[in-house]
Amino acid sequence: MNRQDRSASTSQELPAVPTNAEMHAVTLERLRDENSRLRAELEALRGAKVSPTGSPWDAAMREGIGYASGKSQTSAGSAGRLLAQLAGVSKERMKAGAIRNASEFDYLPRPSSDESQLEADFVRWGYCLVADAMTTAQVEVQTERLVAQAAAERRIDKAIMTNAGARGQLVNNLVLKGQVFRDVVEFKANVAQRGPLIDRLLTKVMGEKFGLGCAHGAIVHEGGGLQELHIDQGMMPMPYPPFPFGSLIIWCLSTFDLDNGATYIVPGSHRSAEGTTLFHESADLMSMLDQEPGLVAICAPPGTCILTDTRVLHCGGRRLIPGTRYAMRCHYNRHFVRALHEQSTANVHVPADVYEKLSPRLKEMMGITVNDADPVGELN
């Protein structure tokens, strides 16, 4: 009995309706099938419940709170254990002459002022180079002030000399040491013409209201500057999410390259094309170094600003020729991350006369929007 149902949106033939006896047989068959499927399922569940090993939840609950990094029962794994595989490697490769200038690879980032190119470089290689971020005159202002500050600290015996034989000097806490430095930290165009562009890029990397991790001057003489390979979010418990926690930026006040002393970097070591962080428990960091381009020295003229993803493998490189290389390094973090090492002390020792000079944004970046000797709020 085939009829056409005109009200249906498809005007196909309706299916044939079976007789009563046929219908019973089909229904019975279907119910038997369902019954035996449900019995099997029930059996499986009963089995799981009485299994001597218990469910994964039982095991996790018995273990209690603790993430067992191998060093500590009470903290999750940090990057340190993984980075240990790279101890001494930057020195070995440098001594063996195995580090090449990044400029030898035409696909690696070059200084650029094209914002979309910079963004693409940052995504692909974990760093980008902002060309002429400071004009020559702006570089001079910073260098002069940094040299004077460094000399003053040596004079009063407060200098932080780095590398054996005083082949480097670190000038910490620049935010407390001069308006020209504070303006750089805040990306102001009067001290760094492409500061606002850098601010925009960093906001994309870390989100709004990102904070200041630290800001210091790095002075490197012949034979100084070398560090162990590391990532700049090593203090963060692993596993890492598919985004960086921060960004270290380096204002080049001198030429950066293999001879002059430059940041050594493993381009592309920060993430996969799909977005996952490559730095994880089973990562073979050594093989990243052995693939092209491997470990290279960033090349940039004075005035360039290097922006890095905190997940990319890198380190300070040794200056191989006479003379001195100047740079300012500023580390920024997502807003919920605390300041790093020297910055955290800078934050709790801001003299009242300096505090007055800090802009609202800088106070927010440093996490010190309140710095009052008098009690505040409820405590008043």
Ligand X SMILES: O=C(O)CCC(=O)C(=O)O
Binding site for Fe ion (CB under 5 A): 232
Q: Which one of residues 82, 174, 218, 297 is an interface residue with ligand X (CB under 6 A)?
A: 218
Characterize 353-379 residue by residue with b for buried, 16 or more Cβ atoms within 10 angstroms of its Cβ, and e for exposed: ebeeebeeebbbbbbbeeeeeeeeeee
Q: Which one of residues 153, 186, 232, 309 is an interface residue with ligand X (CB under 6 A)?
A: 232
Bond before 293 cis per omega within 30 degrees? yes
* Residue 300 CB, nearest approach to ligand X (Å): 11
* Residue 41 CB, nearest approach to Fe ion (Å): 54
Q: Which one of residues 180, 316, 328, 358 is an interface residue with ligand X (CB under 6 A)?
A: 316
Closer to ligand X by CB, 135 or 227: give it. 227
334 binds ligand X (CB under 6 A): no
Distance CA 252, CA 198 (A): 14
Q: Tell me the window of 84-92, 181-189, 201-209, 308-316 that interacts with ligand X (CB under 6 A).
A: 308-316
Query: How is residue 300 annotated by DSSP?
Result: B
* Residue 230 CB, nearest approach to ligand X (Å): 7
Residue (of 115, 130, 132, 99) closest to 267 by Cα position: 99
Q: Which one of residues 142, 247, 254, 263 is an interface residue with ligand X (CB under 6 A)?
A: 263
Q: Which does 300 bind (CB under 5 to 8 A by kind): Fe ion, ligand X, none?
A: none
Q: Which one of residues 79, 205, 236, 315 is an interface residue with ligand X (CB under 6 A)?
A: 315
For residue 290, what are the contacts with CB-CB under 8 A and spacing of at least 6? none
Give me the sign of the Cα torsion angle 315, 181, 185, 253.
Answer: negative
Closer to ligand X by CB, 197 or 250: give it. 250
User: Phi-psi region for residue 364, left (φ > 0), alpha (ψ -120 to 50) or beta?
Assistant: alpha
Closer to Fe ion by CB, 132 or 232: give it. 232
Instruction: Please give the torsion angle defined by the CA atoms of residues 302, 329, 194 and 261, in that order, rounded to the nearest 10 degrees.
Output: 20
Q: Which does 191 bind (CB under 5 to 8 A by kind): ligand X, Fe ion, none?
A: none
Q: Tell me the window of 1-9, 69-77, 314-322, 347-355 that interacts with ligand X (CB under 6 A).
A: 314-322
Distance CA 162, CA 156 (A): 17
Coil/strand/helix, residue 170: strand
Binding site for ligand X (CB under 6 A): 218, 227, 232, 248, 250, 263, 314-316, 329
